[in-house]
Each structure stands twice: as C-alpha cells, then as structure tokens.
Amino acid sequence: MTNNAYTWTNEFSELVEKYAEFVMDGMDMKTMEQFVFDSLVDTYSNYSQDELINEIDEFYGSEILESLGVEVTETPDV
C-alpha cells in the first residue's frame, strides 16, 4: 500500500471548481441533464411544502403554481 501526500498551493475552492469543470467536460448532454434533475430533486426534497410553494410563486408566479397542480386562492387583506 502506498501512502501519498498531496499539496495544493492555491485556494481549495479553485481545486473544487477545476475538478467540477473536469467532471462536466466528461459528461454528455443526457448525463448532464440527469445530474441537474437529480440535484434539483435532492435540493427541493429538503424544502418544506410552504418553502417550495413560496419559491415557485416568487420566481414564476401563481400561474405556474396552478399549472403544477397547486390550488391558488385569494385571501382578503386584513
């Protein structure tokens, strides 16, 4: 067994970005689409129902909420 020691002289975030770019460059479009889909599902699964509905409404509006099956009702101002 070999024990290796590695040294990175720049910011760790730069290594992360370079590696991410390397991995992306090796993906075909279908693989990249699946990765994005899986990442979004994983992220949105950690939201509460209210958080997800509020985000959709904020970024896309009530019409998109309704098209996704969310019933939107108006409440009177109090």
Reported pTM: 0.71
Quick one: pLDDT at residue 75? 76
pLDDT in tens, 17-67: 999 999 999 999 999 999 999 999 999 999 999 999 999 999 999 999 999
Please report which confidence band the pLDDT of residue 1 belongs to, taking 50, 70 and 90 as the band edges: low
Contact of 65 with 56, CB cutoff 8 Å: yes
Spatial neighbors of 73 by CB under 8 A, at least 6 apart, are none
